[in-house]
Structure 1
Amino acid sequence: MTRRPKLSELFSHAEIRQLTRRSNAMGLWAIGSTWAVIALSFIVLVYARAHLPLWGQGLALLLALLVIAGRQLALAILQHEGAHGTLFASAWGNDILADWLCARPLWNQLHKYRPYHLVHHTKTSSADDPDLSLTTGFPTSRRSLTRKILRDLSGLSGLKFLLGRALMDAEVLKWTVANDVQRLPRAGRRWPDHARALLKNSAGMLLTNALLAGVLWASGHAWLYGVWALAYLTPFPLFVRIRSMAEHACTQPGADPLRNTRTTAAGWLARATVAPVRVNFHIEHHLMASVPYFRLPHLHRLLRERGLTPPPPSYLDVLQIVSGAAR
C-alpha cells in the first residue's frame, strides 16, 4: 500500500499557511452568487413565458433546468466546504450559514454529513470508506453507463433518492449519501414513531423549501418552485453521478491521495454543471482538506510544477475511462 505523503515533504510552512487561509468574504460571495444565479434563472423563465413563442419557452426551460441543477450541486459542494470548516473563517459561518443556506434546501443536514464525510477522507478507497459504493463496479460497459444516465435524466434516480431520504429521516434506514442501504433495528418503534422522526429530521428541509416556495408565490410565479423541484429530480442526480465518478472511480487503491483520487480539467460548461466551486481539484482537496475552494487552483499549480501530478483528464475522458469494460 502506498503511504500518504507528509505535507512538510511537499510544501514549506509558509506555503501551507498561505494555502489554508480562509475568507468570510469569499464564503459569502460563493453562497450569494450561487443563489443569485438561481434567481436570475427564474427571472429568465418569467420573461420567456411572457415574451417568447412556445419553442423558445421550452428551450429556456431546458437551459434553466441545467443551470439550476448545476447551482444545486454548487450548494451541495458549499455544504461540503462548510463541513471541512473552509467555507468561512468563522465557525458560525461554517456551521450555520452553510447548513441553512446550502444543506437544508437540498434535504441535507450538516451535522450528519460532517462526521460521515470525514470518515471518507480518513478511509478513502478502503473497505471502510462510506462512499465506496458510489464508485464500485467501474469500469463498466457503455450500455450499463447509458442505463444509469437515462435513469438520472428520467427522474427515477431522483425519486429513489427522495424515498431513501424520507426513510432515513424516518429512522428506518441508516443515514448515508452513498448507494448502500442499511436498515436500522426497529427497537420496539412503531410507524407513528417513525412519522414523528420524519417530521423532526426533515423540518429544516421543509422550512427552507416552504420559504423558497413562499417567495416565488409572493412574486406571482409559484410555478417556478416546480422548476426547482424538477431540476433536483432530473439533471441534478446526473451531475452528482458524473462528479462522483470523476473523483474516485477507476483510481488506484491505497492511502496516497495523489493516486486514489482524481483531479479533472473543467472548462466553463463543466464548471456550470458537474464541477462547481472548484470541486474538480479533488487530488488537491484530499491531499490538504484544510485548503478553501478558491485556493485549490494555486495548490494544483504547485503540484504540477513539482511533477507530483499528471495533466488532468477531461470529464469526457473520465466517461471513457469508466465505460472501458468489454461491451
Structure 2
Amino acid sequence: MPVVARVDPKAVFRPAEWSRLTSRSSLRGMWLVVHAWGTIAAAIALVTLWPNPLTWLIAVTVVGTRQLGLAILMHEAAHGGLHANRTINEWIGQWLCAVPVGADLASYRSYHLQHHKFTQQPEDPDLSLSAPFPITKESFYRKAIRDLTGQTFVKQRLPLFLSLFRRGDADETVSHESFVSSGADKMARFLAVNAMMFGLFWLAGAGIWYWGVWVVAMASWLPLVTRIRNIAEHACTSTGEDPFSHARTTRANPIERLLIAPYWVNYHAEHHLFMYLPCYRLPEAHRLLIDKGLSKRMEVRPGYLDVMRLATSGQRV
C-alpha cells in the first residue's frame, strides 16, 4: 500500500498564514510542560488541604487528564515542537513528559511516524485502535469498567514489570493506546522516576496522595480518557484516498478540555494534515480551513458525546 497523500500547504494557505502557523515558541513549549505539572500540583494541593470524597474525585480526574497531557506533550516533542534546541526538546520530552507516565520518546517517535505515513491503511500500526468501530454501547461500557477499575492498567503494566525479572528481554513494542513501551530498561526508568516523585510527595507532606491520586489516576482515569481520545481521533473515519478525511477534529468545550482533551489534542485532523504545526497553532489552522471552505472535506464533530454516540452505534456508517 502506498503512503497516504500529503497536502501541499502552499496550495491551502497564503505565505503569511503559513509562516504564522509554523512559527514555534520554545518559551511557550516550556510553559505547556510547566502548566501540566502545575495543574497536577494544584490538584494534589486541593485534596491535601481539603481531603474529602469530592476533592479526591476532582484530583483523580484532573491528574489523570494531565497524565494524558504529559503523553500529548511527549507527542509534541516527538515532532520537535517543545523547544528549538534539539537536545533540550529531547531531554524534556523524555524525562519530564514520557518517563513519568511509562513511555519512551525515541520508541514512540519511530512508531508514531509510521502512523502518519500510513494513516488508516493496512500498514498503520494504530489501525487496530479504529478498525473495530462502531461497537455496541454494551461493549464500550465493559471496556470503560475495565479501565476505571484498574484492570486495563494491570493488563498493560504487569507484563512490563515482570520483564524486569526476565533476563535477555529485548523485545520492544509500543502501544499508542497505553503510551507504554515494553522492555526492562523502560520499566526501570519509569519506576525510578516514580520513586523520586514519591519522595517529593512525601517531603511535601502529601505522600499518601502519591498513591491515592497519582497512582489511582494512572490506573483508572488515564486509561479511560486515553481510550476516548483514541476513539475520537480515528474511529469511524474514512480509509479512502482523501487525507482530509483520515482523522477527526472534535470541538471540545471547556469541561472536555479539562477532563478529556488537554493541549489541543482534539484538533487531530489538522495535525494529520500538517503534522509539524505546533499544537497551539492548531485552533487557528482549524479556523482558516473553515474560512477556506475546506472543513467540508473533514470529519468534524461538535463534542465528545457526539463522537461516542457514533462510535457506539453498533453499525457502520
Q: Matched residues in 1 for 2:114 and 2:15: separation? A: 26
**How does the TM-score come out when normalised to structure 1?**
0.87
State the Cα distance separating 1:8 from its structure 2 match. 2.0
1:125-274 pair list within 5 angstroms = 125-166=120-161, 171=169, 173-178=171-176, 198=184, 200-226=185-211, 227-274=213-260
Structure 1 residue aligned with 2:301: 312
Structure 1 residue 178: Cα displacement: 4.3
Q: 1:62 aligns with which of 57, 64, 68?
A: 57
Query: What SS does the corresponding residue of 2:225 show, helix, strand or coil?
Result: helix
Structure 1 gaps of 5+ residues are 50-56, 185-196
CA contact (8 A) 1:167 1:173 kept: no
Question: Residue 17 of structure 2 corresponds to which residue in structure 1?
Answer: 15
| Alignment of structure 1 residues 267-306 onto 2, 5 Å | 267-306=253-292
Runs (5+) with no aligned partner, structure 2: none
Partner AA of 1:43 in structure 2: A
Amino acid across the alignment from 1:313: P
How far off its partner does 1:150 sit? 1.1
Q: Does residue 103 of structure 2 align to residue 72 of structure 1? A: no
Query: What is the match of residue 189 of structure 1?
Result: none
Question: How far apart are the structure 2 equivalents of 1:38 and 1:67?
Answer: 7
Does the C-alpha gap of structure 1 residues 167 and 133 become closer, same or farther in structure 2, counting only changes over 3 Å?
A: farther
2:70–2:97: 8 Å Cα contact kept in structure 1?
A: yes
Partners of 1:166 and 1:306 in 2: CA distance: 50
Query: How many Å separate the matches in 1 of 2:130 and 2:86?
Result: 32
- Tell me if structure 1 keeps the 8 A contact 2:301–2:307: no
Residues 36/261 of structure 1: CA separation in 2 closer, same or farther (3 Å cut):
same
Q: Deviations over 1:217-262 (max 9, x none)?
A: 1123211110200100001100000000000000000343310100
1:53 match? none
Q: CA deviation at 1:148?
A: 1.0
Count matched residues: 303
Give yes or no for contact 1:4–1:255 (8 Å, CA) kept in 2. Answer: no
Question: 2-side partners of 1:167 and 1:123: how far apart?
Answer: 33
Give the whole-Å Cα distance in 1 for the aligned partners of 2:291 and 2:312: 31
The answer as to whether partners of 2:238 and 2:246 remain within 8 angstroms in 1 is yes
Q: Aligned residue for 1:321? A: 310
Q: Secondary structure, in 3 states, of the residue corresponding to 2:252?
A: coil
Contact 2:5 / 2:243 at 8 angstroms: preserved in 1?
Answer: no
Separation (CA, whole Å) in 2 of partners of 1:106 and 1:246: 21
Amino acid at match of 1:257: P
Partners of 2:128 and 2:162 in 1: CA distance? 19
Is residue 168–residue 174 contact of structure 1 (8 Å, CA) maintained in 2? Answer: no
1:202 aligned counterpart, secondary structure:
helix
Question: What is the distance in 2 between the residues matched to 1:14 and 1:305?
Answer: 15
Q: Shift in Å at residue 322 of structure 1?
A: 0.4
Which AA in structure 1 matches 2:87? Answer: W
Cα RMSD (Å): 2.1
Name which one, 1 or 2, has greater alpha-carbon Rg. 1
How far off is 1:155 after superposition?
Answer: 1.0
Equivalent AA in structure 2 for residue 202 of structure 1 = M
Matched-pair identity in %: 39
Write out per-residue CA displacement over residues 291-316 of structure 1, whole angstroms, 9 at most, x where no aligned residue.
00111111000111111114533100
Alignment partner of 1:277: what SS? coil
**Structure 2 vs 1, CA of residues 307 and 33 (structure 1 numbering), >3 Å: closer, same or farther?**
same
> CA distance change for structure 1 residues 179 and 279 in 2, over 3 Å: closer, same or farther?
closer
| Cα deviation 1:198-220 (Å, max 9, x = unaligned) | 1x332321222111100111123
How many angstroms does 1:325 deviate by? 1.4
Residues 216 and 224 of structure 1 are in contact (CA less than 8 Å); yes or no, is this contact kept in structure 2?
yes
Q: What is the identity, as a one-letter code, of the residue corresponding to 1:22?
A: R
SS class of match (1:263): strand
2:148 and 2:221 in contact (8 A); partners too: yes
Deviation at 1:25?
Answer: 0.8
Alignment of 1:84-163 (within 5 A): 84-163=79-158
